[in-house]
Amino acid sequence: MKRYYVIYQGIVQGVGFRGRLIQIARRNQLSGYVRNCSNGDVECEVQGENVDEFIKETIKDDRFVKVFNYSLKQIPLKEGEKNFIVRF
């Protein structure tokens, strides 16, 4: 099991990106959170067995979303966390 802190840069706000991350996280049974940053980036923390698959899926462009860059940092696990949510 791993936990990552991820920052996404690009066209990632106002295009359904957070909702897409929630769907991918839930499909892969991951926990954590996602939120918009004031500078236009999106940050998330994600934890579970399939986090590498999550990252691969989330950086794929679609009709509206364009991830130009992302940074990834492994961080300590959070015990007892069960859901992947949007934070404001």
Q: Which residues are tagged catalytic?
A: 18, 36
Per DSSP, 50 falls in state: T
Kindly provide the residue ranges of all beta strands, DSSP E only, lying in 12-64, ordered along the sequence: 31-36, 42-48
Please classify residue 84 by burial: count the beta carbons closer than 10 Å to its beta carbon, then call 0-12 exposed, 13-18 middle and 19+ buried.
buried
Question: What span, in angstroms and rounded, lies between the C-alpha atoms of 55 and 72?
Answer: 9
Q: Give phi and psi for 81, each to the nearest 5.
A: -75, 135
